[in-house]
């Protein structure tokens, strides 16, 4: 863990729970793509920088989930680097209580106010094309979170953030976090068409051909959607839909899984309603979901 892996002349990643990209800007200056999940990860990144005689100029956050911005504050305080994040993600990076508040749908209990969902706040600026190093390209990757992006480096390495999960992760947990299902599927179709020397997903192995993993993720989304429709054959409330999914997929409920999977299931329900496959109705002051028979 925390091994530095070189994938091209200038581009690297640091192996960690969420891969951290590192790109050489010249012989001394480097930038990071994300910063890992906490202060301890930040320290390990700093050790790698020092061991190679590199100076950190900037961190480019792909999105604001805590496991991607957790090292921001420590590294910024130690190096004076700038931090950039896209659009809404920048606001979440500056005000990190927004993540558990969004997931829970209200003020989060203490069970959700911990470093895995609430990173230390950092002084981030809005990501623009002008803030990028020369030769970098922003790739819009919405769906997993609000305004997530990836990056293509000058030596044709693409960092894909969280738009893909590994086969092993999907087989074990089945329901990966998604904010906007329609946007997520559009992003996967976009990524399927990309060509690059190397792709670096945050939670899957680096590869020079991403198409097979893209299809596996698309199939997983569609399978979950069909499962939800099947559960909603008769009118059913959200909590019972969620319980059925946890039971059928052998998942274990706790506060973190309740909000992460629960938020995702609500997104599926909204998507299925918007495309006419489910109907929502209120009965005895209860919101019920039902399959929309053709």
Please tell me whether residues 237 and 282 are part of one structural domain.
yes
Q: Is 252 in contact with 242 (CB distance < 8 Å)?
A: no
pTM score, whole prediction: 0.97
Please tell me whether residues 265 and 130 are part of one structural domain.
no
Please tell me whether residues 182 and 60 are part of one structural domain.
yes
Please provide the DSSP assignment of 150-175 as one string: EEE-TTSEEEEEEEEE-HHHHHHH--
Q: Which CATH number goes with the domain that contains 271?
A: 1.10.10
Please tell me whether residues 271 and 179 are part of one structural domain.
no
Q: Please determine, for residue 294, whether its predicted confidence score (pLDDT) is greater than 80.
A: no
Please tell me whether residues 65 and 125 are part of one structural domain.
yes
Please tell me whether residues 109 and 238 are part of one structural domain.
no
Please tell me whether residues 151 and 278 are part of one structural domain.
no
Adjacent-strand bridge partners of 214: none
Structural domains counted in the chain: 2
Please tell me whether residues 39 and 121 are part of one structural domain.
yes
pLDDT in tens, 37-69: 999 999 999 999 999 999 999 999 999 999 999
Q: Is 144 in contact with 163 (CB distance < 8 Å)?
A: yes
Please tell me whether residues 125 and 187 are part of one structural domain.
yes
CA distance 27 to 17: 28
Full domain range(s) for residue 282:
230-291
What's the average model confidence in pLDDT over 179-205? 98
Q: What angle do CA 259, 260, 266 make, to 5 degrees?
A: 80
Please tell me whether residues 128 and 264 are part of one structural domain.
no
Please tell me whether residues 144 and 245 are part of one structural domain.
no
pLDDT in tens, 115-143: 999 999 999 999 999 999 999 999 999 99
CA distance 2 to 17: 9
Mean pLDDT of all residues in the chain? 97
Q: At what angle are helices 255-274 and 238-248 packed, to 10 degrees?
A: 110
């Amino acid at each position: 863990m925390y091994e530095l892996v070189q994938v091209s002349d200038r581009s690297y990643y640091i192996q960690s729970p969420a891969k951290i990209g590192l790109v050489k800007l010249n012989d001394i200056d480097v930038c990071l793509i994300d910063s890992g999940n906490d202060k301890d990860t930040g320290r390990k990144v700093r050790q790698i920088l020092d061991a190679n005689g590199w100076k950190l100029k900037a961190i480019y956050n792909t999105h604001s989930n805590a496991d991607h911005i957790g090292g921001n504050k420590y590294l910024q305080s130690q190096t004076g680097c700038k931090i950039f994040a896209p659009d809404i993600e920048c606001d979440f990076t500056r005000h990190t209580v927004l993540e558990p508040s969004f997931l829970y749908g209200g003020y989060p209990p203490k069970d959700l106010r911990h470093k895995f969902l609430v990173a230390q706040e950092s002084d981030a600026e809005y990501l623009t094309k002008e803030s990028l190093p020369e030769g970098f390209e922003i790739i819009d990757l919405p769906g997993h979170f609000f305004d997530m992006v990836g990056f293509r480096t000058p030596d044709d390495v693409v960092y894909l953030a969280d738009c893909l999960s590994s086969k092993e992760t999907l087989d074990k947990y089945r329901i990966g976090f998604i904010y906007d299902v329609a946007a997520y599927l559009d992003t996967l179709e976009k990524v399927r068409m990309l060509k690059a020397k190397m792709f670096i997903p945050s939670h899957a192995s680096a590869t020079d051909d991403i198409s097979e993993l893209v299809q596996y993720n698309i199939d997983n989304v569609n399978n979950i959607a069909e499962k939800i429709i099947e559960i909603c054959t008769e009118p059913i409330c959200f909590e019972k839909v969620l319980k059925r999914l946890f039971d059928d997929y052998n998942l274990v409920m706790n506060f973190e899984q309740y909000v992460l999977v629960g938020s995702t299931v609500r997104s599926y329900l909204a998507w299925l309603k918007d495309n006419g496959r489910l109907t929502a109705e209120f009965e005895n002051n209860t919101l019920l979901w039902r399959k929309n028979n053709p």
